[in-house]
Amino acid sequence: MTLTLDEVRHIALLARLSLTPEEEQRFQQQLSSILEHASRLSQVDTTAIPPTASVLPLQARLRADSPRPTSNHARILANAPDTDGDCFRIPPVFDAEP
Partner 1 sequence: MSRLTDLTLLQAASGLRAGEFSARELTQDHFDRIAALDAVLHAYLALTPELAMAQAEAADQRLTRARRSGSNSLPALLGLPIAVKDVLCLEGVPTTCGSRILEGFLPPYTATAVQRLLDQGAVVLGKVNTDEFAMGSSTENSAFGVTHNPWNLNRVPGGSSGGAAAAVAAQLCLAALATDTGGSVRQPAAFCGVTGLKPSYGRVSRYGLIAYGSSLDCIGAMARSAEDLLPVFLGMAGYDPLDSTSLEEGLPAIDLEGDLQGLRIGVPREYFIEGIHAEVERGVRQAVETLVALGAEATPISLPHTDLALPVYYVIAPAEASANLARYDGIRFGPRLGEHELLDQYLQTRGRLFGPEVKRRIMLGTYALSAGYYDAYYGQAQKVRTLIKRDFEAAFEQVDLIACPVAPTTAFAIGAHGDDPLAMYLEDVFTLPANLAGVPGMAFPVGRDSEGLPIGMQLMAPALGEARLFQATHAYQQATHWHEERPPQ
Residues near partner 1 (CB under 8 A) are: 3, 7-8, 11-19, 23, 26-27, 30-31, 33-35, 37-38, 40-42, 44, 46, 49-56, 61, 63, 71-72, 75-76, 78-82, 88, 90-93
Angle at 21 between CA 15 and CA 25, to 5 degrees: 85
**Which C-beta is closer to partner 1: that of 69 or that of 98?**
69
**Minimum CB distance to partner 1, residue 38 (Å):** 4
**Which C-beta is closer to partner 1: that of 49 or that of 98?**
49
Which stretches within 15-52 are classed as H helix?
Answer: 21-38
**Minimum CB distance to partner 1, residue 48 (Å):** 10
Residues of 57-68 as b/e, b for ≥16 C-beta within 10 angstroms?
eeeeeeeeeeee
**Minimum CB distance to partner 1, residue 61 (Å):** 5
Return the SS3 of 84.
strand
DSSP 8-state assignment for residue 48: T
